[in-house]
Amino acid sequence: MRKVLYPGTFDPVTNGHIDIVLRARELFDAVVITVAINPGKLPLFTVAERVRMLKYCFKEYDNVSIDSFNGLVVDHAHEVGAVGIIRGLRAVSDFEYEFQMALMNKKLAGDINTVFLMPNEKYTYLNSSIIRNLASLHSDVSEFVPPNVNAALKEKFSKS
């Protein structure tokens, strides 16, 4: 059973993240999506909301599960019994940071490999922060996020 961990902020999950998970589940027996609890960041959605949205998106896939973690990604990878970490690469601009993280994680845990996946090119310009900005300005983001996330964004910004 080869399990892989997909860590991220997922604030909120977009069609780009979903594309990466669907690719990962073809390559591994199971994917654990894990929402990073980062006290330094002020997210739009709480950890519980982000976990709930992800669970809804992947409810039909029994080899995809969702949890959250606090601390080091590699420690959580060991906890869940994952053999590696998935990260998505959209553009060259992602590479520098992701490369540093992958090398540091390798140093912290030599048995955990980082696997980079590229999404369909139509998702390469998508990121959660652009989605939050567009939604806050009441722009239609239904093309970029699943319907449950679109509804949650509308609800968040309904009073602004």
**Rounded distance, CA 87 to CA 98, Å?**
8
Instruction: CB nearer to ligand ADP: give 1 or 14.
Output: 14
Active site residue 76: no
**Rounded distance, CA 158 to CA 139, Å?**
12
Catalytic residue among 25, 90, 136, 142: 90
> Which residues are at the interface with ligand ADP (CB under 6 A)?
8-10, 14, 16-17, 20, 87-88, 90, 94, 119, 123, 126-128
- In whole angstroms, how close is the CB of 63 to ligand ADP at the nearest point? 19
Catalytic residue among 17, 25, 50, 87: 17
- In whole angstroms, how close is the CB of 41 to ligand ADP at the nearest point? 8
Instruction: CB nearer to ligand ADP: give 69 or 123.
Output: 123
62 in Cβ contact with 83 (< 8 Å): no
Give which of 33, 42, 46 is closest to 73, Cα–Cα.
Answer: 33
- In whole angstroms, how close is the CB of 23 to ligand ADP at the nearest point? 9
| Number of residue whose CB is nearest ligand ADP | 16
Instruction: CB nearer to ligand ADP: give 39 or 158.
Output: 39
Instruction: CB nearer to ligand ADP: give 41 or 107.
Output: 41
16 in Cβ contact with 119 (< 8 Å): yes
Active site residue 129: no
6 in Cβ contact with 32 (< 8 Å): yes
Q: Measuring CA to CA, how many Å separate 9 from each of 20, 60, 85, 89, 109?
A: 14, 22, 14, 15, 21
Give me the active site residues, please: 17, 41, 90, 128
